[in-house]
Structure 1
Amino acid sequence: MKAALLPSGGDLRRALYEWARSDGVTWVYIAKVLLASLLTLWLALRLELPQPGTATITVFIVMQPQSGQVFAKSFYRFIGSLIGLGVMVALIALFAQERVLFLLAAALWIGLCTAGAARYRDFRSYACMLAGYTATLIGLPATLQPDVAFMQAVWRLLEISLGIFCAGMVSATILPQTSTAAMRNALYQRFGAFAGFALGHLGGGQREAFEQANVAFAAQAVGLEALRSATTFEDPHMRLRSRRMARLNSEFMVLTTRYHALYQLLERLRSQGAVAVLQALEPCLDEVRQVLEPWRERALTASDALALASQLDAHRLRLMQRIRSARLALQVEPAERLDFNTAAELLYRFADDLHNYAQTHASLAAHKHAREQGEHRFSPKANAVGALVVGVRTALLVLLLGSFWIVTAWPSGSSFVLTAAAVSVLVSAAPDPARLALQMAFGTLIAAVLGFAVTFFVLPHLDGFPLLCMALAPVFALGAFLSIKPQWAGCGLGLLVFFCVGAIPQNLTVYDPAHMLNSYIALLLAQLLAAAFAAVLLPPTSAWMWRRLENDLRRRVVQAISEPLDGLVASFESGTRDLLNQGYGLATRSPQVQRRLLRWTFLVLEVGHAVIELRREQEALPAEPCYAADMPWRLAIRAMGRALIRLFVQPGEGNRERALAAVEQAIAATRATAEPRAPDFESSPLRRVLSYLHFIRSSLLDPQSPLRDGEPRTGTPSHAA
């Protein structure tokens, strides 16, 4: 009886495996942080570097759970530090005798770096951040001793390089968690999740769940681009496939956009009561369900993707046959027939997008492949005005606190200004910089208490490096644990960084309680002031930023209409999703704002993608008289483009009506054009053009569209014209 109560060996193994995949990963990361930081500290002391704490801080800043991210952050930290050090040494050489001019020049440089960190949405942001952070680390203290500024810069670069080397070596050799494995797992799981999502909503479904899934897919697209960038630093095999992974991410975004367009059109048909059209489409939808059902919530490997591509070859032919049969049997009015044609075209294009995605995924099995060619670059977008505000805010903070330091001659004034500038730079790219700065201040408060206790009550009784490790390890472990918890990441970073500033013994250690207390008071005040500036001076979480992002979202349609077609799809898709990801993060406390941004994103993707497809059709037109550039239907489409630009730059009911009239005029002109071809999707360009125009028209008529805000949403959109 007692034996039955004990877990079996298999149960223990499964429990251990589950622990290793969850909490075990956390404890392995903490152990690696401890090992890397203590190894760095030992080497810094042995090499007699002036400030071993700087090398240890570098470990805490660049250390990440995955080794590829460590390599990427280390590379950009080194580049940013090198630039920051070079600029600051030049400024010290120019303004060594005049602190006011130096402070002005330093504030401008730090503000410029902070604006760059907020402007770029990839690892370039980190390089800008470190260029500004390192400038404050070296430049402001060097104003007190400009004659040794160059040697201080050399020492800081050596200390930073030592921290980078130790963090990278430990991350890559001790139980490595690779970005490559994370990337593959994300790619394998993503398609199964999408298949389940698509199957769950082809027949309708809760709109809220549909919207939340689209937000999650947008966040995944941004996250996968960051992972792809990290894997290129880690794995040569992934570097060979870098463009294919970028292409795969771009094709997945196109796939989700196409599915969203299909879903929206089907929902409009259901709301209009178009029963005959929906019944005619049902066999065609069943064909897609048959393809996706085996892959619901299932991992898709490269070999599976090859099998899926083969299946889609056969299913696309059957789907086209079903569409033709359904069209012949459909007896409805011309307007409803156009609804069917548009939905059928979207469905066939969705199957074609599935096929492209499967082919690209299958190509990852080979080291070299033709699909590696072509540009599918992810183009992150950030609001230029928002980035400028962040830069100006930081520059003003440095000028204000620097002036206070000069006027009062506060002994800890350099630390005061340095910390405020560094914290402002570090939180510049955060969705809520004031909250993150406050978290860092709380972590610094803990660091002050622990640092004072360790420095004056523990370190004097220690003898040798092993005992020093035992004294520091609990604090490092606590900080590392907090730093990987999203809700406490700022607290963990503040604890680790500022504990090292005060408590790590230097090679020439001085025990001065008054100086240490004064320094920690300066650190806390600086961080509280940085938080206050971020919360009061045009914070990014306020309405002005949401409106700017909404405006940027609308102007993505202008990009789709006016920019060159080469690389436009990838740029349009990635930039739109990145803007949504930013706006959704900034508006976490305002669900209504999130909802409005999401609705604008859906509309922009619908109209923008249809416009790009329409432009592609016109680019590929045969050299025949009915397709000439001066034909009435071509002129009407150009007029429609101008009307859409006016509408999305200045949304309003008047501009919506004018855009709708322009679309209907383009539909009428296209219908009136004689075409010497069979009226089928695969053979008739004008047939496809009509489908895109009709879809744009239905998007403008959608009662759920943000263009209709303020109007009564009763009744059914008419099918006039």
Structure 2
Amino acid sequence: MKGLYLSPALPGLDALRRAFYEWARSDGLTWIYIAKVLCAAFLTLWLAMRLELPQPSTACVTVFIVMQPQSGQVFAKSFYRLIGSLIGLSVMIVLVALFAQERVLFLLSAAIWIGLCTAGAARYRDFRAYACVLAGYTATLIGIPATTQPEAAFMQAIWRLLEISLAVGCSTLVSAVLLPQTTTAAMRNALYLRFGAFAGFMLDGLRRKLDRNAFVAGNVRFSSEAVGLEAMRTAGAFEDPHTRLRSRRLARLNSEFMTLTTRFHALHQLRERLLGQSREDLLAAIRPCLAPLEEILETLRDRPLTVDDAGRLAERLERLRQEVRAAIRMARAQLGEDHGDALLDFDSAAELLYRLVDDLHDYALTHASLSAHRHEREQWEQDFTPKANLLASVIAGLRTGMVVLLFGTFWIVTAWPSGGMFALNAVAILALVSSSPNPPHTAMQMAGGTALAAVLGIFVGLFVLPRIDGFVMLCLVIAPVFVLGAFLSTRPRWAGYGPGLLIFFCIGALPANHTVFDPSGLINNYIALLLSMIISAAVIAVVLPPNAPWMWRRLENDLRRRIVHAVSAPAQNLVTGFESGTRDLVVQAYGLASSSPAAQHNLLRWMFLVLEAGHAVIELRREQDELPDAPAYADNAPWRRATRVLGRALIRLFVQPSADNRQRALNAVQHAIDRAQAAAEPYELHFEQAPVRRVLSYLHFIRTSLLDPNSPLPPLPAPEPSHAA
């Protein structure tokens, strides 16, 4: 019809509802968090003013430090904030009492204490790091003003503790009551989704649909998730008694998941090596053994694994273990006895496959046990063990101690009225960024946030606050700044700007209970804040920065030395300690080497090799610890002596990688294989009744890992040319 205009159809109610739910699950959570930050900050500020605490800004700063999107993280950070504050206050009171009349000795002792706290923050990779940060920062918060008024140090300590406690109480109350987002729920969701993603990853790997980049990216992702889940488990125990009852099972589940990923990686790598050697006959023999597992994984791909699903999965995997055992026997019988080393390849692949199914079964049983408040699988004595480089921690402590001495000396010599703020802020920055993934980057972002805080703080302090009256108007004036800072802190790309803006706007612009209009003091304070931020960021970026190549090399060295742990560490916490420490080192190194893809690639190659060889060594140790009491399995049997020689050769190789050490390790593993073959049980026995044959499979896998042309090990020495007689 001429002139008829058809407008586009308006979205229906269902479409609007779906759009709203999608927004609520993403950006909606961010705005809920921002609203909770505002409520906690304003409640704390109002109470601090009503109670006439001297520095409400200290309480507000504490709110911004401890507030997190999930309540469990708030509870955990608040707990360690109080612990660190109590320790820092106690130490500083002692130092003030000892050196009240001698500023030089006081400054030296304070620098030593703060340096030790910063080193501890860099050393520990969990909430203990936060306690160390606060022990140093709170000591500075009390100690620096006490240099001019030592007689007031004790009362200042009491006031600061009250301000911090008030902020902690308000933050935990708001986080728990106002639209709570629990860490327990986030952890449960992560557990459910993680296994479905890993099932799809395994299925694609078994069907050879993963290229090298996708395989590497998947392993990095699962390593990061294992480290993150441990942090959520610790935080969840603070908020939920049901999580505390299941804490050891959750730790066990995370450990079994790490073992599972390592086992699958080993199987995948062995199949890739056989493919590179054109061993299609062996791959064809193994394929029927994999088919039942692939069928189960197809039903689990990208689906959340609930507790009930895990129980049903455990039953299916119990049946699958018998099917895989029968399929391996049939495939082994078809190969016959005349394949030489091919039998070792098949045995290694078969053992890895059987153990993979066994690990899946253990994981499903532990996951299913979470439905019960109490369960026998809670009896788990192994712990997640984060690792950090000792030298890097010491350097972080020395760097902070040096800055305290330099800034404090400058303050004493110049008698700058804002010198205390200058020194205090430098310590705060160096301590806060010491445990971040990329300290120089974080410090520069916080410096940018401080610059913005200075502009807004001077404007608000000089032109707005003198013209308003009442607490409500104060909240309306500062709310936009708080919203902007909280929003920036939720964006990973700008995460450093948010704390810089929030913390230093509060320190500089929020009125004290004894309010004084002092324009020159306000400007002086912000000059001190900006100078200390810029100098601190420069110090971190110049004085042995933690993201420099020297640090990558140190972490790579620590990563290689994980083999020493696998070979010689006590049996207690051996598996979880090895897996968690290795992954934590890789997560750290991968983040620090973000500016160098080549360094990241090399670190990942070492990670794969260390996990392969280390896990095989641990399995060798397990097999020997569980040997029956028989002469063939005695401690002085030739094959057992050969495996001990192999352990020493592997340590030498990974501590000092060289072509000669690689050849020595290959000679040692070949010698161990020869001795184990001489003592191996008949092939009529299944692996479960043949421990030496299981040992052989792991020895052979170590040999294939050392021979892998894609490994980061130095090339083998060229064979010497033969001479005619």
Task: Output the amino acid matched with 2:128.
Answer: R
Match for 2:192 among 181, 188, 192?
Answer: 188
The normalised TM-score by structure 1 is: 0.97
Aligned to 1:522: 528
Once the two structures are TM-superposed, the CA of residue 376 in structure 1 deviates from its matched residue by: 2.6
- Aligned to 1:442, what secondary structure does the other structure show? helix
Does residue 245 of the first structure (1) align with residue 250 of the second (2)?
A: yes
Separation in 1 of the partners of 2:64 and 2:22? 27
Separation in 2 of the partners of 1:635 and 1:584? 38
Separation in 2 of the partners of 1:498 and 1:674? 70
Once the two structures are TM-superposed, the CA of residue 680 in structure 1 deviates from its matched residue by: 2.2
The normalised TM-score by structure 2 is: 0.97
Match for 1:338 among 317, 340, 344?
Answer: 344
Match for 1:594 among 600, 612, 633?
Answer: 600
Does residue 261 of the first structure (1) align with residue 266 of the second (2)?
A: yes
Does residue 59 of the first structure (1) align with residue 63 of the second (2)?
A: yes
Structure 1 residues 286-332: Cα deviation after superposition (integer angstroms, max 9, x where no partner): 12101211000000000000000000011110111111111111155
Does residue 19 of the first structure (1) align with residue 29 of the second (2)?
A: no
Once the two structures are TM-superposed, the CA of residue 678 in structure 1 deviates from its matched residue by: 4.3
Counting matched residue pairs gives 712
Separation in 2 of the partners of 1:677 and 1:218? 37
- Aligned to 2:495, what secondary structure does the other structure show? helix
- Aligned to 1:544, what secondary structure does the other structure show? helix
Match for 1:554 among 555, 560, 579?
Answer: 560
Separation in 2 of the partners of 1:208 and 1:675? 41
Once the two structures are TM-superposed, the CA of residue 433 in structure 1 deviates from its matched residue by: 1.5
Structure 1 residues 664-705: Cα deviation after superposition (integer angstroms, max 9, x where no partner): 000001111264894421111111010010000000000011
Task: Output the amino acid matched with 2:116.
Answer: L
Match for 2:291 among 266, 286, 294?
Answer: 286
Aligned to 2:300: 295
Task: Output the amino acid matched with 1:63.
Answer: M
- Aligned to 2:544, what secondary structure does the other structure show? coil
Does residue 230 of the first structure (1) align with residue 235 of the second (2)?
A: yes
> Is the CA contact (8 Å cut-off) linking 1:443 and 1:494 kept in structure 2?
yes
- Aligned to 2:687, what secondary structure does the other structure show? coil
Q: 1:262 to 1:675 in 2, by over 3 A?
A: closer
Separation in 1 of the partners of 2:270 and 2:207? 12
Separation in 2 of the partners of 1:330 and 1:630? 33
Aligned to 1:197: 201
The equivalences for 1:614-629 within 5 A come to 614-629=620-635
Does residue 541 of the first structure (1) align with residue 553 of the second (2)?
A: no
- Aligned to 2:214, what secondary structure does the other structure show? helix
Match for 1:367 among 373, 376, 381?
Answer: 373
Can you give the 5+ residue segments of structure 2 that lack an aligned partner in the other structure?
719-725
Does residue 456 of the first structure (1) align with residue 459 of the second (2)?
A: no
> Is the CA contact (8 Å cut-off) linking 2:429 and 2:536 kept in structure 1?
yes
Moved more, 680-689 or 258-267: 680-689
Structure 1 residues 530-557: Cα deviation after superposition (integer angstroms, max 9, x where no partner): 1111011110111111111111111111
Q: 1:496 to 1:681 in 2, by over 3 A?
A: same
Paired-residue identity, %: 64
Separation in 1 of the partners of 2:471 and 2:644? 75
> Is the CA contact (8 Å cut-off) linking 1:276 and 1:330 kept in structure 2?
no
> Is the CA contact (8 Å cut-off) linking 2:662 and 2:716 kept in structure 1?
no
Does residue 100 of the first structure (1) align with residue 104 of the second (2)?
A: yes
Task: Output the amino acid matched with 1:425.
Answer: A
Once the two structures are TM-superposed, the CA of residue 630 in structure 1 deviates from its matched residue by: 1.1
The equivalences for 1:422-441 within 5 A come to 422-441=428-447
Match for 1:87 among 83, 91, 96?
Answer: 91
Separation in 2 of the partners of 1:407 and 1:547? 40
The equivalences for 1:60-139 within 5 A come to 60-139=64-143
Moved more, 661-670 or 399-408: 399-408
Separation in 1 of the partners of 2:715 and 2:151? 64
The equivalences for 1:42-53 within 5 A come to 42-53=46-57
Once the two structures are TM-superposed, the CA of residue 562 in structure 1 deviates from its matched residue by: 0.5
Q: 1:697 to 1:674 in 2, by over 3 A?
A: closer
Task: Output the amino acid matched with 1:328.
Answer: A
Separation in 2 of the partners of 1:325 and 1:225? 42
Aligned to 2:314: 309
Once the two structures are TM-superposed, the CA of residue 333 in structure 1 deviates from its matched residue by: 1.7
Aligned to 1:207: 212
Once the two structures are TM-superposed, the CA of residue 708 in structure 1 deviates from its matched residue by: 3.6
Structure 1 residues 472-526: Cα deviation after superposition (integer angstroms, max 9, x where no partner): 1011111111111112121110110111111111111111111111111111111
Task: Output the amino acid matched with 2:138.
Answer: T
Separation in 2 of the partners of 1:3 and 1:410? 69
Match for 1:9 among 13, 17, 20?
Answer: 13
> Is the CA contact (8 Å cut-off) linking 1:84 and 1:130 kept in structure 2?
yes
Aligned to 2:37: 33
Aligned to 1:719: none
Separation in 1 of the partners of 2:582 and 2:366? 23
Separation in 2 of the partners of 1:611 and 1:598? 20
Does residue 532 of the first structure (1) align with residue 575 of the second (2)?
A: no
Match for 2:394 among 379, 388, 391?
Answer: 388
Once the two structures are TM-superposed, the CA of residue 2 in structure 1 deviates from its matched residue by: 7.5
Instruction: Please tell me the root mean square deviation across aligned C-alpha atoms, in Å.
Output: 1.3
Once the two structures are TM-superposed, the CA of residue 180 in structure 1 deviates from its matched residue by: 0.6
Separation in 2 of the partners of 1:615 and 1:255? 18
Once the two structures are TM-superposed, the CA of residue 34 in structure 1 deviates from its matched residue by: 0.6
Separation in 2 of the partners of 1:81 and 1:65? 23
- Aligned to 1:364, what secondary structure does the other structure show? helix
Aligned to 2:150: 146
Separation in 1 of the partners of 2:360 and 2:435? 35
> Is the CA contact (8 Å cut-off) linking 2:71 and 2:182 kept in structure 1?
yes
Q: 1:37 to 1:257 in 2, by over 3 A?
A: same
Separation in 1 of the partners of 2:444 and 2:677? 62
Aligned to 2:721: none
Task: Output the amino acid matched with 2:158.
Answer: V
- Aligned to 1:706, what secondary structure does the other structure show? coil
> Is the CA contact (8 Å cut-off) linking 2:136 and 2:431 kept in structure 1?
yes
Separation in 2 of the partners of 1:675 and 1:491? 65
Match for 1:488 among 479, 490, 494?
Answer: 494
Structure 1 residues 422-450: Cα deviation after superposition (integer angstroms, max 9, x where no partner): 11101111222122112111111111111
Aligned to 2:170: 166
Task: Output the amino acid matched with 1:257.
Answer: T
Structure 1 residues 133-158: Cα deviation after superposition (integer angstroms, max 9, x where no partner): 11111110111100010000000000
Once the two structures are TM-superposed, the CA of residue 182 in structure 1 deviates from its matched residue by: 0.2
Separation in 2 of the partners of 1:432 and 1:314? 48
Aligned to 1:673: 679
Once the two structures are TM-superposed, the CA of residue 264 in structure 1 deviates from its matched residue by: 0.4
Once the two structures are TM-superposed, the CA of residue 28 in structure 1 deviates from its matched residue by: 0.7
> Is the CA contact (8 Å cut-off) linking 1:291 and 1:315 kept in structure 2?
no
> Is the CA contact (8 Å cut-off) linking 2:660 and 2:716 kept in structure 1?
no
Structure 1 residues 637-689: Cα deviation after superposition (integer angstroms, max 9, x where no partner): 11111111111111111000001000000000111126489442111111101
Structure 1 residues 583-630: Cα deviation after superposition (integer angstroms, max 9, x where no partner): 000000001111111010111110111011101111111111111111
Separation in 2 of the partners of 1:210 and 1:295? 19
Task: Output the amino acid matched with 2:262.
Answer: T
> Is the CA contact (8 Å cut-off) linking 2:619 and 2:698 kept in structure 1?
yes
Can you give the 5+ residue segments of structure 1 that lack an aligned partner in the other structure?
713-721
Q: Which runs of 4+ in 1 moved over 2 A?
A: 1-4, 674-680, 708-712
Separation in 1 of the partners of 2:503 and 2:717? 54
Once the two structures are TM-superposed, the CA of residue 398 in structure 1 deviates from its matched residue by: 0.7
Does residue 632 of the first structure (1) align with residue 624 of the second (2)?
A: no
Aligned to 1:401: 407
Does residue 274 of the first structure (1) align with residue 274 of the second (2)?
A: no
Structure 1 residues 444-465: Cα deviation after superposition (integer angstroms, max 9, x where no partner): 1111111111112111121211
Aligned to 2:590: 584
